[in-house]
Chain A
Amino acid sequence: MKKLYILIFLFLPLLANAANDVTQLEGSFKVGPAIILIFILSLFVLVGIVFRAKDTTDYYAAGRGVSRIGSGMAIASNWMSAASFLGMAALMYGTGYHGLSYVVGWTGGYVLLLILMAGQIRRYGKYTAADFIGDRYYSKSLRAIGAVIAIVISIAYAVGQFGGIGLMFKWVMGINYPLAVIIGGSVVLAYTLISGMLGVTKNMQIQYVIIITSFMVPLFILTAKFDYFWLIPQLGYGSVVQDIVDGVQLTDKAGMFNSLGHHFALVPSPEYAMPWDPSTGQTFFQWMAIAFSLMIGTAGLPHVIQRFYVVPKARDARWSVVWGLFFICLLYWSAPVYSAFGKILSANPEVGLLSPDAIVVYTAQLGNVHPLIVGLLAAGGISAAFSTTSGLLVAGASAFAHDLYVKVINPAARPKTQMTIARLSTILMAIIIAAIAMLDLALIAQLVAIAFSMAGCTIFPLFLLGIWWSGSNRAGAKAGLIVGGTITLISLTYLIGARAGWMLPYNSFITYYLGAWYFAWIGAPLAIATNIIVSKLTPETPLEIRKFLIEKVHS
């Protein structure tokens, strides 16, 4: 811990001198935020070294000695990514009430996860999603497919994170977006290679505290500064929302300005809060489809499911969901506050177009929050992306090295070879992710939502039926995967086609009903139905698997 104090001691004078450089929304290199960022990342590595896992078993079972609250914090930290920290406020800023479908989807899914899976997954006792799929469906090829799906989902999920990292590095360093993605991506890769196996659970708890603190502090300042109920900003901003609907006249908040000198005022803007407002271009169907897809995606994400293997017993797995969800909701109650203040503070047309994905930071800047606190906020956003990306790269690399290479390709591989393969696959994944992130395909939250729909169409049906119906067999699982995978491919082809300007058949019909952010609304039910039908028509699940389900998972 002595190293930690030395680090803090070294950085404090630098911070004190760097408070005055965040004066413009964009622009040059910002020393203060850069120092805060370096300090926080160094802290994570240091904590990782101090609490590092001694061996692989310790790494996997890191939660054994952790309390339910600690485990809940780890779940929340693992979950809270750039999509939560930056992306949700961005969606509500741009599309108002429609953005709340993401809030509901990303929290409501935990109820499904708890009542349908958490305890049972823990009792099943496998370490990875591919392990479960290969074992439950007694198939080496399904294990391999499960590993490939886990890698693809990790990549899709991480693309949004790299987007967030790129945006924040762009903001901190004053450089262009592609260069920021390369630099930010390199830093996160180095960070993962250094700290990927270090003190994961303890680090996640510290990351949670930093992320939530950096996110909350500006909210108290903003609500107090603009004369709203500041003791609980998550309730106080209700009046901000109503003010947006009714409009704020210059006289209503006389003497209050944003950092550019504009009055705290805007014309009546009911489109911000009214459901599926025509001006947002979003519909009732899309709201429902997104919420549903994100919820079942939550219950099918490999890195989320994996958290339940590292708690001591099934009861702890259940209660850790309650605490995890509570800690997640602290952030999800807060994100709409940024979008509401951002709406008013950037209402003047002279502010110009702002990147919605950076609206959290812009709002704090426009609200004249102290530059160091804005810097802390940006560093919190990067930390959120780092913690999730690091976890995804490790999960993707272990899926490749453990589930594919060792279990399928080369069972005789030595541990050293396995480690080399894991490192190489981490680097390869980072390169692929950075390349896709540079295309800037969509908003961060939308990119992440693709991963959720993929998980909802592929892994969720396998887990749901695998746990709750012994009749689901290998043939059914394969058939369900083919259907879920096909829907995924169709949707992604149309997404890429739309960006590339291709004119594909039934373009408007498919891009609307199989939208890339919500295709699981139909993909998952079809995959489940196919799995059931094919399972009924083919030989039954072997007795030993059924016995295991009854005796170990449900008894």
Chain B
Amino acid sequence: MSAFLIRRLLQAAVSLLGVTAMIFFLQRLTGDPVLLMVPEGATQEAIDALRSQLGFDRPVMAQFADYMAGLAQLDFGQSIVQNVPVVDIVGSRLPFTIRLAMAALVLALGVGVPLGVFMAVRRDHPVSRIGMGFVLAGQSLPTFWSGILLILVFAVWLGWLPASGARQAASVILPAICLSLLSMATFARVARTAVLDELSKPYVRAARAKGLPMARVVTRHVLRNGAIPVISIAALEIANLLSGAVIVETVFAWPGLGQLTMQSIAARDFPIVQAVVLLGAFVSIFLNLTADLLYSAVDPRIRLEGGK
């Protein structure tokens, strides 16, 4: 097991290097920020002067070597257009991303899982039907569309919540609802499936035959056993929530990493994109590793490579 873990950790390190190199060179293929920074009509000399001042006239391999040398000392560089260390910028946005993702996760779990369990236990109950409809509807709308509807209803017509920004505690509510809709459906689905699978097992029938009330069987046994797939999906959903927020953050002007990535790509502010992607890759690879470990724990048919 530990040999497997060490090997996977080494592979993860290689993956991170691969991500870094891929993003570095792909970005350089898309040009540089110089033309975006100069005013209209800037002379070629002025453009060249800025380009050389920023170091974009140097060979790409030399730029890469410099970047990697910096990275080796955990120096993520400076934002090209903002003239601020990348660590400061990403660091100031990270808490917002985590806050939004956690709020959305709590909403998605808090609504999705109970709904999924209920749908499994009381398949034909009207609440199941309505709940299913609600969940399906929620994931059938593009977020840029449901987002503007939420804003119109809760910010403009009712005036209950701020439409955008991050100044108030309540600001997170609308983007979190919007972001949670997709994951909510996933959780409801997984919970329903897990509970259905559990309910068909002999011990449930035995317990029922012994006269135990359904509610008790469910809360005592079924939920505990059905939790594993929900947890492993949750790990993957966290990655989705963290990275899937680009549109939600744009609509609600939420100052998280999604919006920052979008703007930095558009501005060709390479070091920021590089750092955000590296951070995202780190989290995602780590979560995948966890999911793999859980997966093998759940399904003994799969032997871990190297775990012989």
Interaction A to B: no
Using a CB–CB cutoff of 8 Å, the interface residues on chain B facing chain A are none
Using a CB–CB cutoff of 8 Å, the interface residues on chain A facing chain B are none
